[in-house]
Each structure stands twice: as structure tokens, then as C-alpha cells.
Amino acid sequence: NGSQVTDEGLATIATLPKLEELWIARTKVTADGVEKHVLSSKTLRRIDVGGLKVPPSKLKAWKTGGPDRRFQD
């Protein structure tokens, strides 16, 4: 996607009550921002984090964190 979304913007986006898919590939969002703002969402089911600098151990933990959520890298 390559947009200019940052962790600060993600804080707002992640609160949208009907948000089910989030494509933040190749943005300025950090792994810490995903953990802080996205992982707590009850509605998100699919998240594209391709191109983000996410340590492999974190990505693996996110992918195995619950059956109702898919991370695409």
C-alpha cells in the first residue's frame, strides 16, 4: 500500500467498530504500533503487514495468537 500511515494514525484506524481487514503493508507503522493498537481489536480478522520491519519471532507469535485472525506477510 505504501501510504503514510504511522503508529499514531493506526491508533485511530484500529478503533473503527466494523473494521475487519487492515492492509498496512509498506507503511510507516512499526511492530510496536501493531502490538499496541491492532492486537487488541475484537473485529479485525485479516491484517497485511508485508514489508513492515517485524521480527520473525513477533510475526510467528501474532500468527499463532488466535484462530480468528490471519496475518499476511
Q: Cα angle at 67 between 21 and 7, to 5 degrees?
A: 40
- Please choose, from the candidates 9, 70, 68, the residue with its C-alpha nearest in 3D space to the C-alpha of residue 37: 9
Average pLDDT over residues 10-22: 92
- pTM for the whole thing? 0.84
Higher pLDDT, 66 or 55: 55
In eight-state DSSP terms, residue 40 is T
Partners of 70 in beta bridges? 46
In eight-state DSSP terms, residue 43 is S
Average pLDDT over residues 56-64: 88
Q: Answer whether residue 2 shows pLDDT above 70.
A: no
The C-alpha atoms of residue 8 and residue 66 are separated, in whole angstroms, by 25
Average pLDDT value over all residues in the chain:
88
pLDDT of residue 1: 59
Radius of gyration of the CA atoms of the chain, in A? 11
